[in-house]
């Protein structure tokens, strides 16, 4: 038998963009224990294609293992969930960081869930613990969130309605 179970393979394969044929060949290697060359022949693929598919699956598996280890080592599951929802909305490449003392962050909130708010700041995100904010920012407005240099609650400032809200308020059609 191979190195993965069928269930483990399915759980990881669903989160990739590999073709059905590549997944079938990789399944033969990882679950059935075939060589990459034999799987390639069986599925009419070059061994290099099978190898690239295996690399994608193994990297995704490593990413999931790292996430699970992080959670087991004390990372807040609710914070992790908020980050994952934001990445589902903005894309896997959406980099999310913790806020730093003495800094100000301006941008639109992306997600507010389970006590955490993810705010888009430029091309990346910042995850805020709502318990550290003086109030919960509105989801439809650009906001500024400023953390004091030491301890204490961060100030939240509304920076105005979103561009969409302003367009609606002006009566723009917005493609309707």
| pLDDT tens digit sequence for 2-60 | 689 988 899 888 888 999 999 999 999 999 999 999 999 999 999 999 999 999 999 98
User: Domain check: are 66 and 150 in the same one?
Assistant: no
Higher pLDDT, 41 or 174: 41
User: Domain check: are 86 and 64 in the same one?
Assistant: no
Q: The domain containing residue 119 runs over which residues? A: 77-170
- Give the distance from CA 111 to its chain's centroid: 12
User: Domain check: are 166 and 81 in the same one?
Assistant: yes
User: Domain check: are 146 and 81 in the same one?
Assistant: yes
Mean pLDDT taken over the chain = 87
Q: Distance between CA 13 and CA 24 in Å, rounded?
A: 10
What pLDDT score does 29 carry? 95
Number of structural domains, the chain? 2
Q: For residue 123, give the nearest of 103, 108, 136 by alpha carbon.
A: 108
The position carrying tokens 């959406």 is 94
């Amino acid at each position: 038998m191979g190195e993965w179970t069928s269930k483990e393979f399915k759980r990881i394969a669903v989160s990739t963009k590999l073709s059905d044929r590549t997944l079938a060949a990789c399944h033969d290697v990882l679950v059935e224990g075939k060589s990459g060359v034999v799987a390639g022949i069986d599925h009419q693929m070059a061994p290099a294609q099978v190898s690239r598919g295996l690399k994608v699956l193994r990297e995704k598996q490593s990413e999931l293992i790292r996430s699970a280890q992080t959670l087991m080592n004390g990372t807040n599951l609710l914070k992790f969930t908020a980050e994952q929802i934001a990445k589902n909305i903005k894309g896997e490449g959406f980099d999310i960081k913790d806020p730093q003392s003495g800094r100000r962050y301006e941008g639109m909130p992306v997600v507010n869930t389970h006590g955490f708010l993810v705010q888009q700041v430029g091309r990346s995100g910042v995850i805020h613990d709502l318990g550290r904010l003086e109030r919960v920012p509105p989801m439809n407005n650009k906001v500024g969130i400023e953390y004091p240099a030491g301890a204490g609650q961060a100030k939240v400032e509304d920076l105005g309605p979103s561009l969409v809200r302003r367009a609606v308020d002006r009566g723009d059609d917005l493609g309707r």
